[in-house]
Structure formats: structure tokens, C-alpha cells
Amino acid sequence: MGIFLLDKIFIYLLYMRKLLTILLIFFTTTTYSQCVSNQSFTLTPPGPYQPGDVVIVDYTLGAFNGININWIHAFQINLGVGWTNLVPLLTPGNPIGSTGNWLWDVQHTYPGGFNFGPGWRFENAGTAGWGTSSNGPFTMSFQVTVGPTCTPDNLNISMEVFDDCTTGGWANGNCCNDPAFQIYNGTVQVVTPTTSNINHY
């Protein structure tokens, strides 16, 4: 009788272990949606920066693996207030992706109300509102200039990647929820003017 009871308890514990494992896998895949990987950048010149400096930013997203068949839709550039004169230089590619084009926008509001910009957004030629099925890599570049200032203004640069679930074009469960990728974190190096001594005669 005692051995039979121990066997039942053992089987029950095995069952609970399997159930907990399944629940853990379920919650891990549905609540944590990391879709971007292998991000990199170069800054030319590397910084720190003073007013008037012109900087070229090269950014690469090595791979995009959307969840729930979400496709990559937009790259948004976030700039601190110390930057000015944002100019696109190299548009992202679309290796083995959907038919369409990457468009540069300073600001764009998607039909669902999602505000985007500045940056590149993909316009799918087949289905409006969808991104591209490409998994990358995506390389792009832009130029910015440090504005005139006498204060140590914010010069942060980051890149955000949005899928067509986030922008409202595709609804099939959870969207990708990737944090902004930090490219530069700093402030304007203010140059204090030097003056010569004034002699009064």
C-alpha cells in the first residue's frame, strides 16, 4: 500500500514538472519578444563632438526574426536636441524580401495612428500596411551636424526597429518589443573662448 502511494506521488510530481515546463516555455515565448539581433554601428569621426562637427553614422541590423509572422517595417532614428541637419545617405537593402521600397520620412502617421519618424519605412507593393519579409542584413547610413550652442546639449543617437504589428498593418498576436539600440551617448563639448588679458594704461 505504501509503495503504491509513493508511485502515485512520483507520477504526480513528474506530471507537474512537465506542466510547469510547458507553462514556462509558453510564457517565455509570448511575453518576451526580441526580434532584432546583431546590431552594430560606426561613427565617423568617433567623437566627442563640438559645435559644427559633421558626423556620418553607419548602422547595420544583422538579422530580424519576427514573431507571429511579423515583418520588419521601419527604422526610426532618435536624436538628442544638440543634433541638426539630418541627411539620409544610404537606404537599407531588402535582401530576398517582399516587393517594395524603403522610403525616407521625417514624419509619418500610419493608418492605425502610430507616429513614426524620422527614418526609413518600407512600402510593400503587394499589400499596403505590411513590411518586408526579408530577414536582413540591413545596412543604412545618415549624416548629422552638431548645432551651434554654448551649452552641453544632448547628443544621444539611437535606432528603433518596428515591425508591421507595431505599426498596425498586421495583427497576429504579440508584436516585437525591442528596446532602442544606443549608438552614441554624450553631450556637446563646449569650447570656452579664451581671451587675452586687458591692460589699462
The whole-number mean pLDDT for each consecutive block of 10 residues of the chain, a chain of 201 residues, reads 57 52 40 77 97 98 92 97 98 95 95 94 94 96 97 98 92 88 97 71 65
**Confidence at residue 189, expressed as pLDDT on a 0 to 100 scale:** 96
**Confidence at residue 107, expressed as pLDDT on a 0 to 100 scale:** 96
List phi, psi (to 5°) of 90: -130, 120
Cα–Cα distance for residue pair 67/163, rounded to 1 Å = 9
**Confidence at residue 30, expressed as pLDDT on a 0 to 100 scale:** 38
Cα–Cα distance for residue pair 47/55, rounded to 1 Å = 9
Element (H, E) at 14: helix 2-31
Task: Return the C-alpha torsion angle 190, 182, 91, 32, nearest 10.
Answer: -160
Structural domains in the chain, sorted by start: 34-184 (2.60.40)
Report pTM. Answer: 0.79
Q: Which residue has the cell 536636441?
A: 81
Residue 1, C-beta contacts closer than 8 angstroms, at least 6 positions apart: none
Is there a contact between 153 and 82 (Cβ–Cβ < 8 Å)? yes
